Amino acid sequence: MAKKDDITGKGAMNGYRVSHSNNRTKHKFQQNLQKKKFYVPEEDRWITLKVSAKTLRTINKKGIYAVLQEARRKGTLIKDD
């Protein structure tokens, strides 16, 4: 199972940790993923999504149904629970 956001598709980033002496060590920056269960009243069903904390804020602002519609328009496959 990939460590990607189900709505936006964003995953980990590569980069460096840089010390005071400017030594660089490779590092992988992971998304802050949460597994959450949402109720969609328009479709009368529950769905479980793996979303980042940033996407959770977007869902709280716009609503789950609007975010799902936008993701479906972009071609993201949303499975039901």
59 domain-assigned: yes
pTM summary value = 0.79
81 domain-assigned: yes
Q: Are 10 and 29 in contact (CB under 8 A)?
A: no
80 domain-assigned: yes
Q: What is the pLDDT of residue 76?
A: 81
10 domain-assigned: no
57 domain-assigned: yes
The confidence band for 23, taking pLDDT boundaries of 50, 70 and 90, is very high
Tell which wins on pLDDT, 77 or 23: 23
Residue 78's contacts (CB-CB under 8 Å, 6 or more residues apart) are 6, 47, 49, 68, 71, 72
Mean pLDDT, residues 12-41: 96
67 domain-assigned: yes
Q: Above 70 in pLDDT, residue 80?
A: no
Beta carbons within 10 angstroms of residue 7's beta carbon: 23
Question: The domain containing residue 67 runs over which residues?
Answer: 32-81
